[in-house]
């Protein structure tokens, strides 16, 4: 599968996604593409500098990455830029409004946008974890265009019904929901099972 990381706030979401995918026995290979602003995001929010791009995954995980192949965002001739190369799914997390616009309008001027375009044209799963607020009309229209083309629009909105105690609880639940969208449900995901109805108040 492919993971794209852009410059919208939320580097911790990308980090958790990569950690869960790396540990998932169902996943054979992960192609990681980080935009220039995505690299800046890792540096500013997690203190992870780019350095040697090939070592980026190891720095993100804090341990050697066995499954992750880092691809340069400028390499539009990479394997994932072609529909003939089999990739089951792609997640862009976090997804900036600029990357959303490029994907929604078919502007494949870098590898993240091109790989996403391939997913849409080949009718494969694409999840865009958009991260911005508030949305203006352009943002909303681009979300509609991408969704109508086949993408799943999944804003980085935390849930609270599982009574999170830490930031990691919030991050893990959201990322688990994202992975469930691509057919990789996680044991760590909280699943709502309903609550017994409260007794009716009596006069």
For residue 49, the model assigns a pLDDT of 82
Buried b (16+ CB within 10 A) or exposed e, 37-62: ebbebbeeeeebeeeeeeebbebbbe
CA–CA distance, 44 with 163 (Å, rounded to integer): 29
Q: What is the pLDDT of residue 54?
A: 84
**Per-residue CA distances from 42 to 9, 37, 108 (Å):** 9, 9, 23
Q: What is the pLDDT of residue 200?
A: 47
Separation CA 165–CA 26 (nearest Å): 29
Token code pair at residue 185: 């449900």
User: What is the value of pTM for the model shown?
Assistant: 0.93
Would you give per-residue pLDDT tens digits along the chain (203 residues)? 999 999 999 999 999 999 999 999 999 999 999 999 999 999 999 999 867 888 899 999 999 999 999 999 999 999 999 999 999 999 999 999 999 999 999 999 999 999 999 999 999 999 999 999 999 999 999 999 999 999 999 999 999 999 999 999 999 999 999 999 999 999 888 888 887 554 444 44
Query: Which has the closest alpha carbon to 28: 72, 94, 86, 76?
Result: 86
Do residues 161 and 192 touch, judged by C-beta distance below 8 A? Answer: yes
């Amino acid at each position: 599968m492919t993971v794209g990381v852009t410059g919208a706030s939320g580097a911790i979401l990308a980090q958790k996604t990569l950690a869960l995918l790396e540990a998932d026995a169902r996943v054979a290979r992960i192609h990681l593409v980080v935009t220039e602003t995505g690299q800046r995001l890792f540096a500013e929010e997690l203190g992870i500098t780019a350095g040697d791009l090939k070592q980026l995954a190891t720095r993100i995980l804090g341990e050697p990455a066995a499954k992750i192949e880092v691809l340069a965002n400028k390499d539009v001739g990479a394997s994932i830029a072609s529909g003939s190369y089999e990739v089951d799914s792609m997640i862009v997390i976090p997804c900036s409004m600029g990357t959303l616009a490029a994907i929604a309008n078919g502007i494949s001027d870098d590898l993240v946008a091109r790989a996403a375009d391939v997913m849409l044209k080949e009718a494969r799963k694409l999840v865009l974890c958009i991260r911005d607020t508030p949305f203006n009309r352009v943002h909303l229209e681009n979300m509609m265009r991408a969704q109508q083309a086949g993408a799943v629009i999944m804003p980085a909105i935390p849930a609270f019904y599982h009574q999170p105690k830490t930031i990691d609880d919030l991050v893990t639940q959201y990322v688990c929901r994202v992975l469930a969208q691509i057919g990789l449900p996680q044991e760590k995901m909280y699943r709502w099972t309903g609550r017994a109805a409260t007794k009716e108040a009596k006069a």
